[in-house]
Structure 1
Amino acid sequence: MKKWVIAAVVIVIVLAIAGLFFINHESDYESTDYSEGQLNDEGKNLIFGENGQDEENSGDKRLESNGNENCPLVFTEYLVDPKYLQKVGQIGVVHGSGKYIVERSYISIKQEFWEQKIPLYAPTDMVLRSGSRYNINNDKYLDDYALDFDAGCGIQVSLGHVKEVVPVVAEKLPEAKGDSRTQSLGDIKFEAGELIGYYVQQRGEGAVAGFDFITRDAGFENTFTNQERYQDRSSQNLLHGVCPYDFYTGEKKEAYYNLLGSAGGKLFEVKDCGSASRDVPGSISGMWFLEKEIKGYPFEEEGYKDGDYGSTLPISADEEAVTIGNLGPSKTSRVYSDNPSYKLPEEVTEEHCYQFLQGLENQGYVYFKVVDEMSMDVYYSSSGACPAEFPSSGAKRYWK
């Protein structure tokens, strides 16, 4: 009997040690989507076009601390010299896949600097924790690097589509993979103003149209109409995503804010950095879902289509256009400000029909009707003009 007791105790101890090992050794791979739009051969920006490229590896992030107690955090150095920039994007725009809204700022380079190496610097003291090197274009273009930094004070800084990195990082990522999942790189320290690497804007169809600047604040939560849908650990990117330019002060903040603009390069008259949450209760703005029931991560890669209607429906807008994702055959559809049906989605509190145009020709429409703060009805048609009234049948109901 004593032998059995001793054996049982040994087994319990072994299992406890194994449990501690696994608790303290989470997967080194954290899935992150760093994809955005593309350029065609003429260099036209297709960030939100139907040909937008999508890597769809969105996932959660651990927000750690590098020991920096100088909080609140301030960025003291430019990530990239503003002289190179065509525009910096708002956060909370519709991703090129059309499936969801993202928390990153897309940065575009002036055409006169294309094919040149644009240096990228650490905006503050920070530690590189994880990263990846990948190429999904069959080596047609330069490899992409995705880098995740811990800036302390609960702030994570991430860069996507970096094209070249300094040797201390390059030696950790010697070969390109086929996806953008990041892996642990240990702790590589960068001081404010230290060179991280370079971005190169390449020409040609399929080339990315800029690089990503992402900041997440573990101490801040964005507000959504249905907050419960964003409490899953894998939804932390949107929950904690904040404007990177708000960590700057004085002239540097002003320089970046003056460059805020749309996907097409139009600089905004109102200097608004946006929000990772575009939800405005009682309006059609923000993220919507075909499923009323909350089923884990709201932006799952394996999202589905019910005919013309996607399982997710993101709606966001700026001074240039309203962008609607995941309806019909296109990944995204845009209603520009010179279109008579253009209306900011946060101003649509009852019903409104957006007419899709190609030149002066009608190319279908989408009609929205608000039911209440948590639901709306949507009717999409790939042809024809907006009807005088909301269609009596055939609509789909979406939920917050």
Structure 2
Amino acid sequence: MPVTAWNGYPQSVPVFAPTDSWLRQVQVYEQSVIGNTVLEYELVLEASCNIWYRLGHLGPVSDKIKDLSIGYNYITEPIFFESGEIISYWSGINPGGNIDFGVYNTSTINTFTNQDRYTDGLNDHQLYEDCPFNYFDKKIQQQFYQKLSEEITLLPVTTTECRKSSDQDIAGSISGEWFEQNSITPTVSIGSSLLGSARFTTRDLEVSIDPENITYVHPSKVTSNHCYYSDNTNIYVDLDLIDPLTLIVSYGEGTCSAKKSATNLQLNK
């Protein structure tokens, strides 16, 4: 769980190098925690010529990592970490209470509805996403899966499913990432949580619609027009799939039948 008071990094959860690795990049960014400005770290390490991994929501980092500034720090002389060596600690900051862990394998090619977007050199990290748990033996895999919980409710999840961005990109449906023209980052992301809730993330909004909600339809099943309403937040999300690559989105305060405000977007996969 995230901290409720700030007395410095808790350093209660060490993060170890899962294999011999070379640190290649560190992103440093500021977070506001209970009135304090605190630094969080994201590390990218190379495990082999074709396998890299990313660790996020960390702090403090190992004393071996020096001279960092806010933003992206590219390590010109890669720093070696032996398997089992402490790289950093869980920061204790992020609301989800989690550590990010991702693996990228350039020998793995994922498939998207608009494949050209992910082969332009700007979004190729998603092209090479792989399940990190598959790189451990069965016993450790199960330990990872047993620690998974729903992101918003924190309810425990029983699963052996490890999903990638491409798994949320369902051709002919609203599910997937949607972009404004000439943008390299998604404006709207639509998908489902591990417990099946429909999830909508924009630059200024995050909404989750659970399966008991009267407006719920799994995003992969929405192939034309549908409006979701979150009674918890009094927010609606109205979606109109024009064709497999074009989506009109309207969202704001109010219900599907009585909209009080609206942000309107036309987006592409």
Q: Structure 2 length as normaliser, TM-score?
A: 0.81
Per-residue deviation, residues 123-176 of structure 1 (Å, max 9, x unmatched): 11111223254545499255323322110040111222321233222xx23x5x
RMSD: 3.2
Code of the residue aligned with 2:44 in structure 1: it is: D
Q: Which has the higher strand share?
A: 2
Per-residue deviation, residues 215-251 of structure 1 (Å, max 9, x unmatched): 1111222211111122221212222222211211210
Code of the residue aligned with 2:25 in structure 1: it is: S
Shift of 1:282: 0.9
C-alpha separation in 1, matches of 2:267 and 2:36? 40
Per-residue deviation, residues 93-126 of structure 1 (Å, max 9, x unmatched): xxxxxxxxxxxxxxxxxxxxx9342111111111
Q: Does residue 268 of structure 2 align to residue 399 of structure 1?
A: yes
User: What does residue 209 of structure 2 align with?
Assistant: 335
**1:356-375 equivalent positions in 2, closer than 5 A:** 356-358=230-232, 363-375=234-246
C-alpha separation in 2, matches of 1:356 and 1:207? 21
Whether contact under 8 Å (2:145, 2:158) holds in the other structure is no
Q: Does residue 175 of structure 2 align to residue 280 of structure 1?
A: no
User: What does residue 149 of structure 1 align with?
Assistant: 45
Measured at CA, do residues 242 and 180 of structure 1 come closer, stay the same or move farther in structure 2, by a change above 3 Å?
A: farther
C-alpha separation in 2, matches of 1:364 and 1:127? 45
C-alpha separation in 1, matches of 2:265 and 2:61? 47
C-alpha separation in 1, matches of 2:5 and 2:198? 24
User: What does residue 27 of structure 1 align with?
Assistant: none
- Which one of 86, 90, 94 corresponds to residue 195 of structure 1? 86
Identity, % of aligned positions: 26
Secondary structure in 2 matching 1:262: coil
Shift of 1:396: 5.2
Q: How many residues align?
A: 259
Shift of 1:354: 0.7
- Which one of 231, 252, 264 corresponds to residue 119 of structure 2? 231
- Which one of 82, 93, 98 corresponds to residue 210 of structure 1? 98
Secondary structure in 2 matching 1:358: coil
User: What does residue 346 of structure 1 align with?
Assistant: 220
Structure 1 gap segments, 5+ residues each: 1-37, 44-113, 300-310, 388-393
Per-residue deviation, residues 270-307 of structure 1 (Å, max 9, x unmatched): 4322112221011110012343xxx3x521xxxxxxxx
Structure possessing the higher relative contact order (Cα contacts under 8 Å, 6 or more residues apart)? 1
C-alpha separation in 1, matches of 2:5 and 2:173? 38
C-alpha separation in 2, matches of 1:159 and 1:335? 29
C-alpha separation in 1, matches of 2:77 and 2:129? 24
Structure 2 gap segments, 5+ residues each: none
Shift of 1:386: 4.5
Shift of 1:201: 1.6
Q: Does residue 13 of structure 2 align to residue 122 of structure 1?
A: no
Whether contact under 8 Å (1:165, 1:198) holds in the other structure is yes
